[in-house]
Each structure stands twice: as structure tokens, then as C-alpha cells.
Chain A
Amino acid sequence: MAVHTGVLPGFRLTLGYTLFYLSLIVLLPVAAVFGKTLELGWGEFVDVVSNPRVLAAYRLSFGAALAAAAIDAVFGLLLAWVLVRYSFPGKRLVDALIDLPFALPTAVAGIALTALYAPNGWLGGWLAALGVKVAFTPLGILVALVFIGIPFVVRTVQPVLEEFEPEFEEAAASLGASRWQVFRHVILPHVLPATVTGFALAFARAVGEYGSVIFIAGNIPFVSEIVPLLIIGQLEQYNEAGATAIATVMLVISFTLLLVINALQAWAARRGGKEQ
């Protein structure tokens, strides 16, 4: 063991405690999912997870989550920028509103969005006239996921933007850079790591989202049925092994994607000069 040189004592104690806690709270339940899945044979497992209905749900869940997180990344960055850089009446109110999707019970969000976007709702009526159907389609799922994901991006980007002095933009402008060049070459490299983190959080949340989606999705098999709903369906039929099998695949894909995003984020941070 290396000789202890840090200011704070107790490295071994805290590490041990952390690992114990992580195991108890996170790893154990995850392991249970895998354990339960093992009750199925390989053939049965493949049958369950390669069912076309299940595959369609995977595509929808991950596709919608990625798209929603991407939309959140763009508009969250914009929102954070406006909140940090400008002062306007009601700014604090807007700032507080950002957290609302965090606090709102997801079922409430789902019901509210459905009421709004249903063909007889306020917005839904308008959109239906234009030929756009939102509620009970994948588009509705996207709307719900964008809604619940936005605070993750805003709240991760905001502090990073706050410490970004206007001086850098002024320096760039005095060197002849256009607005777009200032954004592309000076601001974006600085906020990219935080934006990617926000993207990852929004994505992770969106993949696991259940409450707000099931109301607006309509849950039509092959069209607007998400994976968590299939899992619940299996459970309702007392097919626990089937449910965990679907969940296992979801876990593996999520974990892989998050790892990739993490690597991306580390790369962006290096580009951002953070590790220099």
C-alpha cells in the first residue's frame, strides 16, 4: 500500500464503506435481475428477448430516449445560456420552473401532456388539423421524454456557463471572430463536456421513464409500447423470469451506452483543456 499522504485520513475506511454501500444499494438489485434471468434456459431467454414485439419496444425505448436527450441537449444549452447571460423580469420564476419536471409526479406529467396533446386537447386539436398526431404515437412519447429530461441538461450546463467569463467571448470578438465562430470555437468547447453529461443523465432518465409515458403513449403493440410496459405486462402474468430477461437486455444496452457517453465526455473534457 502506498504511504498515506493526503490531508484527510481514512482512505481505506471510506473506500470500503463506499464499495459496501454501492454493492448493497446498486449492485445487489442488479445482480438479482441477472440471477432471476438465469432461471430461464438460453433458448427460452433468446425466445423472450427476440420476440418481434419486444424488439420493437427496444427500438422505440432507446430511439425515443436518444432523440429526446439530443433535443434536451440543444434546448437545455440554449435555456441555460439565456438564464446565465441575460437578466429579464421573471428570470427567477423561469429558473424555478426548470426544476418542475424533477418534482412533478411523472403520472401527473403524463396526464397533463395527454390532456394537452390528445386530439380533443388544446394543442392536439390544432395539430390534428395540421395532420400531426402526437398523443398515442411515438411522437407523444418523445414529447414526454423531452419534458422530463430538460432539467438534467440545464442544471449541469448552468454552473459551467456561470464560470465562463464574457472576457473569452470579448477576446474572440476583438480578434475578428464572428458570432458563430465565437460560439463554435470558444463557447462550445467549454460547455461540451457538461452538455454531454446532461445528455447522458437525460438519456438514462428517459430510458427508465414509465409514469409519464404510458398515459400519452397509448401503448399500441409494435407502435407505441415501451420496454418498461412490457416488463410490467410480464409481471402481471406472473412471468418474473421473462420480465427480468427483458430487463437484463435493457440493462446491458443502457450500461454500454452510458459507458460510450462517458468516454465521449472524457474526450470532450480533454479537448476542453480541463485535464491539462
Chain B
Amino acid sequence: MSIEVRHICKRFGAFTALDDVSLAFPDGELVALLGPSGCGKTTLLRVIAGLEQSDSGQVLFDGEDASDTHVRERRVGFVFQHYALFRHMSVFDNVAFGLRMKPRRERPSEAEIRRRVMALLELVQLDWLADRFPSQLSGGQRQRIALARALAVEPKVLLLDEPFGALDAKVRKELRRWLRRLHDELHVTSIFVTHDQEEALEVADRVVLMHRGRVEQVGSPEEVYHHPATPFVYDFLGSVNRFEGRVEESGVRVGEALLLHEAPLPAGEAVIAFARPFELDIVPAESDRGVPARVARILAFGASARVELDGEGEPARRFEVELPRERCTALGLTPGQPVRLVPARLRVFAVE
């Protein structure tokens, strides 16, 4: 089922959680709502679910206005960050809950419930835990049970609020791959909220970046990563090095240094330029190109080496460069050594 939200506004007292948000979620896609805490992503999810009422705007399911439909009738599966499993019920009873709450004439027989619950538990690969209680499960298992419970009522939409937020890093990685595979099997329109850019880029078909109650950018993971629309998106999607300067004819002037770049902006404009750590190169201080900096720390484990540097000026700007290990060794860097930084690629944004 496709979902559309139109001009959603939501305030909590003086705080604007959602500021005129309009989005479309096509049928069968897995979409990530990504942003820092307080950006309104969870509120948007709750408005779509019907757990929260927006102050204005519409929520449309398959083109039909569902704004006034109670959460009970929206047929959305909602998965909470802290699972919200019923503690007094076994895993089986938790998953069966939605089926047992149906009005008598729609309710399947107990045998049919049993069959469907066991099928779902098999789907989440936890059928052997049917008789346990939630407190006897690990966090990852609980979240999978919560998902099975949400799927039991055959929701038309699956909404997940920071589904992996409370799990440790390793389980989180496993579980998000598993979620991706599950989605490929089920093709239920799904929206999940996360503040982890890696998670969003890895799992989702499309990423919606939110900031201060507004949508900053919508696109495929490749699009938003390689063509960020705003400085916020660039900054949020990974570590960045930031330069402030002014556009000149042949590049961007940062302090003394001129960084070559084909800026699509008129000369004289104040700009912010970004480069990812792997887009910067380190050259000796005697070179006439690049921004001066001083090596602070060298972290040489893994395939590439990471070098942290302090820029000039007060307060000193910090830079981070990722180099192949051999290149790092060849440069013979030591902490405290003055060097220069040359970006291979820059993203330039006009100062707002």
C-alpha cells in the first residue's frame, strides 16, 4: 500500500516537531527516515501510524484520507524501539495477541491462530522460543518477536521506530541485514526511523533526510550520499572536513590557499566547502598547494590509515584524512609535523 503525507504540521508547545512535511512512500518500498534526534522523524512515523494527531495536514493510505482513522483501524504494524512486548504473556501469546483481539466473527479458530503464529515464528527463526517469556530473551530476539507480532495482523504498512536502537553494534548489523532480506520476501511497504546513517544507507531503498521538522532531501542511498542537496545532508551522512572560503575564478580561496574547484557559484561569494576523509590528500608542508595543518594522531589499523590533523587559527579546526596504509608510511608522518591538505574533490555550498 502506498502512503502519502501532505503538509503535516505538528507542534508540542513552543516546539515545532513537523513543519509542513509532504512525502510520498511508494508501494512495497523500504524507506528510512533519517535525522538527528529531535528532527521530527519519530513524530512523523507516529502521525502515520495514528498514534499522534497532526495539527494540520493529511495522511493518505492508497490515496484515501486516513487522517481521522484510529490506529486500531489503520492496519499498520508498529515496532517500538524498546519492543513493548507484553511481559505477562509468552512469546506465543504475544504474537497471537492481534489475532485473538479480533471481533469474534473475524477471529480465526484457535488451531488456525496456532498455525499462523508458528509460521510467523519460523519466519523470524525463533519458533523454538514459543513458550518463553520476553524477559528470558535477548534484545535481538525480542525485537524479532515484536516484528512477528506486528506482522501477525497482516498489516498493510510496517512502521519501525528505531528498531535497532537499543541493541549492541554486532547484533544491530546482523539484524538490519535480516530485516532487508525479510522485506525482500514480504514486500510490505515499510518505513523505519533511525539516526544511524550507515543503517539507513545500507538497508533502505530510499532515504528521507530530516532536520528541524523539515525534509532536507529524499533519494536513493547513492543519490543522497554522492549528491547531497544541502550542507546538513553532507555533514550528517559521514565524517567531513569543512573549509570556509570565498569563490575565485579558478577555485575556492581558503585563507592563503587556493583549492582548485569548478565552483558553479559567482566569484566573490562566501562558501562552505566539504571533502570526505578519503577525498583529501596529505602533501609535504613545503608544497605551495593546499591548506596548512599539523598532524595530531595517526591511527594505522585496518586497510587504510586515518590521520587526524589540527588546522590553523583559533579555534583550531580538526581535519580527518583517510589514506592507503602504504601512502601513510611513504609520507613518514609523525605527530606534530606540519603538512598541507589537498582535496581531490570538493562539494561547495553557498553560506546561508
Q: Is the interface of A mostly helix, strand, loop or mixed?
A: helix
For window 332-347 of B, CB contacts with A under 8 Å fall at: none
Chain B's closest residue to A276 (CB) is B133
Q: Is the CB of B101 within 8 A of A177?
A: yes
Chain B's closest residue to A182 (CB) is B101
Q: Provide the A144-187 mask, 1 if CB < 8 A to any CB of B, else 0.
A: 00000000000000000000010110111111111001000110
Please tell me if A91 contacts chain B, counting CB pairs below 8 Å: no
Q: A175-B150, A181-B101 are in contact. Are A170 and B51 (CB under 8 A)?
A: yes
CB distance from A185 to the nearest CB of B (A): 7
Q: Which residues of B sit under 8 angstroms from A190, Cβ to Cβ?
A: 87-88
Chain B's closest residue to A168 (CB) is B84
Q: Is the CB of B78 within 8 A of A171?
A: yes
CB distance from B279 to the nearest CB of A (A): 43
Q: Is the CB of B87 within 8 A of A177?
A: no
CB distance from B336 to the nearest CB of A (A): 48
Q: Which residues of B sit under 8 angstroms from A165, Cβ to Cβ?
A: 82, 84
For window 62-107 of B, CB contacts with A under 8 Å fall at: 70-72, 74-78, 80, 82, 84, 86-89, 97-98, 101-102
Q: Which residues of B sit under 8 angstroms from A172, Cβ to Cβ?
A: 86, 97, 101
Q: Which residues of A sit under 8 angstroms from B56, Cβ to Cβ?
A: none
Give the distance in Å from the alpha carbon of A175 to the alpha carbon of B133 in the complex.
19
Q: Is the CB of A273 within 8 A of B136?
A: no
Please tell me if A271 contacts chain B, counting CB pairs below 8 Å: yes
Q: A174-B76, A177-B101, A273-B133 are in contact. Are A167 and B89 (CB under 8 A)?
A: no
Q: Which residues of A sit under 8 angstroms from B77, Cβ to Cβ?
A: 174
Please tell me if A101 contacts chain B, counting CB pairs below 8 Å: no
Q: Provide the B25-62 mask, 1 if CB < 8 A to any CB of A, else 0.
A: 00000000000000000000000011100000000000
Q: Is the CB of A186 within 8 A of B86?
A: yes
Interface size on B, residues (CB 8 A): 30
Chain B's closest residue to A169 (CB) is B84
Q: Which residues of A sit under 8 angstroms from B102, Cβ to Cβ?
A: 176
Query: Most chain-B Cβ atoms within 10 A of its Cβ — which of A168, A176, A271?
Result: A176
Chain A's closest residue to B76 (CB) is A174
Q: Is the CB of A276 within 8 A of B87?
A: yes
Please tell me if A218 contacts chain B, counting CB pairs below 8 Å: no
Q: Which 8 A-B pairs have the closest CB atoms?
A: A175-B98, A273-B88, A273-B87, A276-B133, A171-B84, A174-B78, A167-B84, A177-B101
Q: Interface of B with A (CB < 8 Å)?
A: 49-51, 70-72, 74-78, 80, 82, 84, 86-89, 97-98, 101-102, 133-136, 149-150, 152-153
Given contacts A165-B84, A172-B97, A176-B102, 8 further A-B contacts (CB under 8 A): A168-B84, A168-B86, A172-B101, A174-B78, A175-B101, A176-B72, A273-B88, A276-B134
